[in-house]
Each structure stands twice: as C-alpha cells, then as structure tokens.
A and B are shown apart, each in its own frame.
Chain A
Amino acid sequence: MEKSSIISVENLVKNYDKFEAVKGISFEVKEGEIFGLLGPNGAGKTTTLEIMETLRDKTSGKIIIGGFDLEKSPNEIKHIIGVQLQAAGYYPNLNLTELIKLFSGLYGIDVNAIDLLSKVSLVDKAKAKYKELSGGQKQRFSIATTLINQPKIIFLDEPTTGLDPQARRNLWDLILEIRASGTTIVLTTHYMDEAEVLCDRIAFIDNGNIIGINSPDQFIDDLVASGFERKKEVKKANLEDVFINLTGKDLRES
C-alpha cells in the first residue's frame, strides 16, 4: 500500500540577491519514512531544510507540511515539526532539565524532562550544562529537544557530523527508534553509508537542483545495471566494521 505524503514541495525557488541557491525543486516525503537530502556543500540542502522548518522565506514555490500550507499557516506547522539545526547552541548557563523546561514553555506544553532525557539516554546528565557534554551527547540532546512537542516530523541537519564511529552508530539506533515510534524524519548527511543504513528514500541535490530521487537500493541497482563496477572488489566488511570490532560498540563518553 502506498503511504500518503506528509510533505510536498513543488517548484521551490530560493534566491539570495542574484545567487540562485535552490532552482525549482519538487519532492514528496511520505508519512513514517526517513527521507535523506544528500549532496555536496553549498548544494542547497540546508536552505531547503530551513525553508521547510519555517526559518527562511522562500522566493517562490508551494510547500504543504502535515496538511498546512507553509505560506498561510507557518505557526501551525511549527507545532507539528521538531527541528535540529546544524551547530546550534542552547541558552547559556542552563542545565539540560532547565533547557527542556524552557522549550516546553516555548511550545506551551508540559513535559517530563526525565522521561524525555531517558529516551536519549541522558538521564545521568540531567543537571549538566549543554557545553559540558561530549559531541555525541550534544547531538542526542539536540534530537531530544526536537521531540518535546511530540512532532509528526523532525528535521535533522547533519546529525552525525564530527562524531566518532561509536557515537555515530548509537545515533543511528536512536533515529531508527524515533522512526519506529511513527515519526517522519527528514535529514541531511554527507555520509553515504549513513544514508544507505537509515534512509528509505533519498534525493540527491546539486547546484540547487534535484538530480535524482529513489531508494538507496534502487539507486545502487540502477548504477550496477548500467555496467558500473568498483575498481576494487567489495569485501564483506569495511574499515569501520574493523574499527568497531576492535574498539567495541560501547560509547566513549564520560
């Protein structure tokens, strides 16, 4: 059965002065899937994401999120989405519990901070400040803040950039758990292995255009069918598997 689409983007254009960052892209995200936006730096991934997150104005195009028109009801959209920004900080001098209280106030709801932190295994850091966390913990906390308003869709902008292999795999598990609970996820990443593991479908963006949308498997099959061959024979494990195998799966953070 074909799932219904929860996000639809039609002919989205974004110009910064004379520079065309996004040149009329269209795509749909289906309910309950993990959708990846992939592409080189400056391709327009973050711009596209931030327009969907209501943080940036579009130049033209039509976007429907969860049944709401972005142009007419950005506030309704804010209530049903969760947003993790690339490299965003948090209010200074507050601990994680206080930050969650702050965000729940911003959403106008009451949230049990400990329950939320337990979802991302940060209960023992409830009284720690954000800046005292390790890279992986910071990302897990960022994801926790996207879940405060129990959103239908969460947007993750390069959630695993800069993490060590253990923390990265740990975050994959978390993202898959969130999806399993019924939340739709839109993410960007530079790591193809990550997209292959996580994403149901991916869109490749380059120079502000979408140059392909499909499932990772289908993309790979199509490429192989076209006669492509890797120079080196593919082995059954890669170097990261070796790394994890040697150093163990335990998270390396205090």
Chain B
Amino acid sequence: MKIKKYSHIKATLAIARASFKSILRSPSAVVFSLLFPLIFIVVFGFIGGGGINVDVGLAKTSDTINPVYKTLKQIKVVRFIVEDEKSMNQDLEKGRIDAVLNIQKNPNGLPAYFVNVKYTDASKEKGSILKSVISNIILPINTKANDAPAPVAELKETTISGREYKTIDFILPGQLGFALLSTGVFGTAFVFISLRLTLVIKRFFATPVTKASIVLGEAIARIVFALFTAIFIILVGHFAFGFTLINGVTTVFNMLILSTLGLIVFLGFGLAVSGVAKNESMVPPIANIITLPQFLLSGTFFSISAFPTWLQPISRALPLTYLNDALRKVAFEGASLWDVQHQILILLIWGIGIYAVAVKVFKWE
C-alpha cells in the first residue's frame, strides 16, 4: 500500500484545535485567565480612579455659609464627611478621616470667622496637604477683606500638564502578566498530566503523530487563548477604566508580543510541573510554589520599590517581574520592544533555563 505523504502540520493543527476547544469548555481556565484578572481590574479600577483624597469631617456645629468652606468645597481633593461627633473623633483617631473642620462665626466682630482644624497623627501626610490647601485659601481672602496694602510678593502657580498615572495603568499589566502565568503553569500542567494519566497520549502514540506536534499543538492553543484574553483585558481596561495605551494599536501589538513571549516561558514551567507531579492533586501545590511568590512579589499589586530592601533582590529575580515591567513601560511610557530589551533578555534566560529543566523531568507516560 502506498502511504500518502504524512502532514505534521495537519496533525499539529488538529491537536491545537482540539486543545483550544477543550480550554474554552473548561471552567477553571476561563475563571483563572479571564474572570480573575478582570475582577481585580474592576475593583482597582473603581477604587483607584482619582488619585489622592483628603477626607475631612465637618463638625455639626460648623458654619457653612462662609467663603472658606465654600472654596474648600470646590476643591476636588477635599472630600467632606458628615457624621456624629463621637464616631468622627474615633475615625480621626484611627486615621479613617484625615482631619475635622469646624468653622465658627466670631460673635465679637473681627476676624469674622475662626477656622478650627483638628489634625491627626494617624494621617500626617494628608493633614499637611489640607494645611497648605487651607492656608492657600485663607491668604487671599484675608488680603481682600482687610483692604491691606499690596502684598510684597505675589505667588504665581503654574502646573505642567503631565500624563496622569492612574491605578489602572499599574494594575492592568500586572493582572495581564499574572493571567499569563496561571494559563501557562496551571493550564499546561493539568492538561499534560491528565493526558498522561488517562492514556490519551499513549493512544496518540499509536498514530503517526510526533511528540513535537503534541507539545507544539498544545502550545499554539494556549498562546491563541492567552492572546484573546490579553486583548479582552486590555480593551476592557482601556474603554471602561481609561487604561493608557500611549501609541494606540502599536502599543497593543507590542503588549501582545510581550505576552506571547511571557507565555512561552511560563509554558515551560507548566511542562516541568507536569513532569514532577505524580498525579493531578499534586499539581496545585507545586504550581502554587511557582505562581504565588510571583503573584505577591513581582509587582502585580504593589510596586517592587515599596518592598523592604532585603526582599527586593528576590523580586528582581522572578520572570514575572520583568514581564510586568516591560508591559508597563510599553503601555504607559510608549517604550518600544527595543527599549525593553533588558527585560526581554532576562525572560529569555528564564525560558532557556526552564525548558532545560522541563526536557529533563517531562514524562510521556
């Protein structure tokens, strides 16, 4: 019998297609890679929005028809909170509110008002912001009121218009990076161990398919899935929460290239985990050893510079740190891929290292 020329591409694509369908129908993949990051983005997108707020408790007895209060009310940074005196004092003590304001009309004539501000040690920084805001308001009011001589020096304030760095600009790349890490490690490890244990791979080997086609097919399915999730996350972030895409489509494109690179590295971790784990229940503990430290230490939620100095070298050793870093630079600063070559290089080194391990520990049966 003449055997027609066998197509490895066809076999690889058949596996990729099957795997992709299977991923879409597996709830855990969708939850971990799509829902999970999206929840974080929505939560941080809403609480993060407006930068700094100073919460000021307004005393019940306070006068509210004076110019000081009216002006303060128009300042965005200051947020007035009205509650009873007892809980206001408690909140002030705990730093839940940053100051208490009580403006009283002077019954004895001039000065017309006493502006009483109670600050708290629990929130010194915001207190001093309020202090300068108030003195900025009172100064011109006093000047006008007293027909005083022309001031010696006049303050002229200008602000350059910088790009606003929103919480979403920090959170989204971190969540995207972590979604890729979960898809790469958990998804891959579970799939290969279950294909191995249920003898699916053994059955495959009775067909002419090669091992390379099996690994490549699975990788293609995961990359395609991850790119869909990445696009979805970026678009939701951009249109719903104003995630900054400095160069528009080019930025998205560069982010997708970085995502693919990151995912390929993380797939290596997944393959290694599937080789080390003896059964499916051993996957979560081993995979968590890889993902959890990166979730916490790779600048997913907090900037690495916020960590104590002894912890920072550990953060700077993790691959997700560099993926997150590169994604942020590309999205917010408009860096090109060439500008983040340092991050890419470190990811590649991790990739080579982990695939060397994966090749050693990976089991086919």
Contacts and interface: CB of A to CB of B under 8 A. Distances in A.
B202 A85 contact: yes
Contacts of B198: 88-90, 92
Interface in B179-207: 194-195, 198-200, 202-207
Interface residues of B, number: 30
Contacts of A227: none
B201 to A, nearest CB: 10
A66 B1 CA distance: 9
A200 to B, nearest CB: 23
A104 B19 CA distance: 15
A19 interface: no
Nearest to A92: B22
Interface residues of A, number: 34
B11 A92 contact: no
A93 B26 contact: yes
Interface stretch (A2-10, A71-79, A112-120, A133-141): A71-79
Interface string A164-184: 000000000000000000000
Nearest to B217: A105
Contact of B199 (A53, A85, A101): A85
B297 interface: no
Contacts of B209: 106
A108 B199 contact: no
B206 A93 contact: no
Interface in B332-350: none
B3 interface: yes
A108 B6 contact: yes
Contacts of B206: 53-55, 78, 81, 83, 85
A60 to B, nearest CB: 22
Nearest to A152: B1
B14 interface: yes
A106 B202 contact: no
A105 B11 contact: yes
A107 B207 contact: yes
A216 B139 CA distance: 112
A91 interface: yes
Question: Which of A55, A102, A103 is the most central at the interface, judged by chain B CB atoms within 10 Å of its CB?
Answer: A102
Interface in B115-138: none
Interface string B8-41: 0011011101110110011000000000000000
Contacts of A87: 199
B26 A92 contact: yes
B205 A94 contact: no
Given A85-B199, A102-B15, A108 B208 contact: yes
Interface in A54-82: 54-55, 66, 75-76, 78-81
B4 interface: yes
Contact of A105 (B4, B10, B205): B10
A88 B200 contact: yes
B18 to A, nearest CB: 4
B200 A106 contact: no
Contact of A93 (B13, B15, B21): B21
A55 B26 contact: no
B283 to A, nearest CB: 14
B237 to A, nearest CB: 29
Nearest to B8: A108
B14 A55 contact: no
B146 interface: no
A101 B18 CA distance: 9
A107 B10 CA distance: 9
A28 interface: no
Contact of A55 (B11, B17, B18, B205): B205
B7 interface: yes
Contact of A92 (B4, B194, B205): B194
A113 to B, nearest CB: 13
Contacts of A88: 198-200, 202-203
A149 B1 CA distance: 13
Contacts of B13: 105
A51 to B, nearest CB: 12
B11 A106 contact: yes
A94 B203 contact: no
Contacts of B207: 78, 103, 106-107, 149
Nearest to A145: B203
A89 B200 contact: yes
A108 B7 contact: yes
B194 A75 contact: no
Interface string B198-232: 11101111111100000000000000000000000
Interface of B: 1, 3-4, 6-7, 10-11, 13-15, 17-19, 21-22, 25-26, 194-195, 198-200, 202-209
Given A91-B18, A102-B17, 14 more contacts: A55-B205, A76-B3, A78-B207, A88-B202, A89-B199, A90-B200, A91-B22, A91-B195, A91-B200, A92-B194, A105-B10, A106-B207, A106-B208, A108-B208
Interface of A: 53-55, 66, 75-76, 78-81, 83, 85, 87-94, 98-99, 101-109, 145, 149, 152
5 contacts: A76-B3, A88-B203, A101-B17, A102-B14, A106-B14
